[in-house]
């Protein structure tokens, strides 16, 4: 008999993966594995796109980092500059000519080095936007095909692979979060070394308006927003899949009872 002081505790665990025994099983497993890989990539990059195209983050940055005072530009001109940058990321113009009214005169705010760096940034951002579409379509098609062709078997394996995906994503995001919190400057510099083939991103924080408008603190907090959004969305998706699997199992149980079988 169990001692009354000992209480049972329900623990969320990651179930073991069992390797498929036949071709059909391997196909189902492959579908679930591709879906579980595409989803976290899609969520992370989709949040990068959302944050990049948002208005609230830029408004927060102007206030948080005292940008109007540091640039001598009113918020309206800063907002105009942010809108021009967001448009630049999605249009066909090769070089950014960011124009604002500065001290009563319309000027092109960024110098040649800043403009050249923005060409590289545009290429990177358009790569992110394209990857969002590709991974999103892959995840959607895999989910639809899996449900249509494999039914309950797909949901069962999908929940298992998604839990492993959640574990792996959590480890990666957790490691990055620790690194960011300990030394964001190092992470920020390594990101630029890996993302760009030149040193145009090395700008003067006292004379180059690009880095004055968007200091390192801006990118630090944007990174945190992106990570938090992705974690919350992934948790909601996991819960939704769990509910679907539970209802599917309950439906199967009722069908067995209806057929006079013992589940």
Report pLDDT digits (tens) over 116-159.
999 999 999 999 999 999 999 998 888 888 878 777 677 777 77
For 199, the 3-state DSSP assignment is coil
Residue 11 lies in a domain: no
Q: Which of 30-44, 76-90, 147-161 has the lowest mean pLDDT?
A: 147-161
pTM recorded for the entire structure: 0.80
Phi, psi of 120 (to 5 degrees): -65, -40
Question: Which residue in this structure is represented by tokens 């009563």?
Answer: 104
Neighbour count for residue 38 (Cβ, 10 Å): 21
Phi, psi of 105 (to 5 degrees): -135, 135
Residue 90 lies in a domain: no
- Residue 215 structure tokens: 């200091």
Question: Which residue in this structure is represented by tokens 């890996």?
Answer: 194
Region 68-90 average pLDDT: 96
Residue 17 lies in a domain: no
Number of domains in the chain: 1
Report the alpha-carbon distance of residue 100 to residue 69 in Å, rounded. 16
Residue 167 lies in a domain: yes
Residue 113 lies in a domain: no
Minimal CA–CA distance to 165: which of 25, 33, 22? 33
- Residue 39 structure tokens: 């989803």
- Residue 219 structure tokens: 């990118």
Q: What is the DSSP letter of 74?
A: -
pLDDT band at 74 (very low <50, low <70, confident <90, very high): very high
Res. 21: pLDDT tops 70: no
Report the alpha-carbon distance of residue 51 to residue 60 in Å, rounded. 12
181, containing H or E segment: helix 152-195
Residue 172 lies in a domain: yes
Q: Which of 6-20, 68-82, 105-119, 216-230 has the lowest mean pLDDT?
A: 6-20
pLDDT band at 46 (very low <50, low <70, confident <90, very high): very high
Residue 83 lies in a domain: no
pLDDT at residue 8, rounded to an integer:
46
Residue 195, CB-side half-sphere exposure with 13 Å CA sphere: 19
Residue 43 lies in a domain: yes
Range of the structural domain that residue 237 is part of? 23-73+130-258
- Average pLDDT over the chain, rounded to an integer: 84
Report the alpha-carbon distance of residue 245 to residue 232 in Å, rounded. 20
């Amino acid at each position: 008999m169990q001692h009354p002081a000992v209480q049972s505790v329900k623990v969320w665990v990651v179930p073991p993966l069992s390797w498929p025994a036949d071709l059909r099983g391997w196909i189902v497993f492959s579908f679930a594995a591709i879906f579980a890989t595409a989803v976290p990539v899609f969520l992370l990059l989709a949040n990068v796109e959302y944050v990049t195209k948002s208005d609230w983050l830029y408004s927060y940055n102007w206030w948080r980092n005292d940008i109007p005072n540091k640039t001598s530009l009113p918020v309206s001109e800063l907002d105009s500059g942010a809108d021009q940058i967001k448009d630049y990321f999605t249009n066909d113009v090769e070089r950014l000519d960011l124009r604002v009214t500065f001290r009563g005169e319309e000027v092109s705010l960024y110098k040649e080095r800043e403009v050249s760096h923005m060409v590289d940034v545009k290429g990177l951002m358009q790569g992110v936007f394209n990857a969002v579409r590709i991974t999103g379509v892959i995840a959607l098609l895999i989910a639809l095909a899996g449900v249509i062709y494999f039914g309950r078997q797909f949901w069962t394996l999908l929940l298992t692979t998604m839990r492993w995906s959640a574990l792996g994503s959590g480890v990666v995001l957790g490691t990055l979060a620790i690194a960011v919190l300990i030394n964001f400057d190092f992470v920020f510099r390594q990101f630029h070394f890996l993302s760009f083939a030149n040193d145009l991103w090395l700008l003067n924080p006292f004379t180059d308006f690009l880095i004055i408008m968007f200091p390192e603190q801006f990118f630090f907090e944007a990174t945190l927003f992106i990570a938090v959004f992705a974690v919350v969305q992934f948790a909601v998706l996991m819960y939704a899949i769990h509910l679907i699997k539970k209802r599917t199992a309950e439906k199967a149980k009722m069908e067995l009872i209806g057929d006079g079988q013992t589940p």
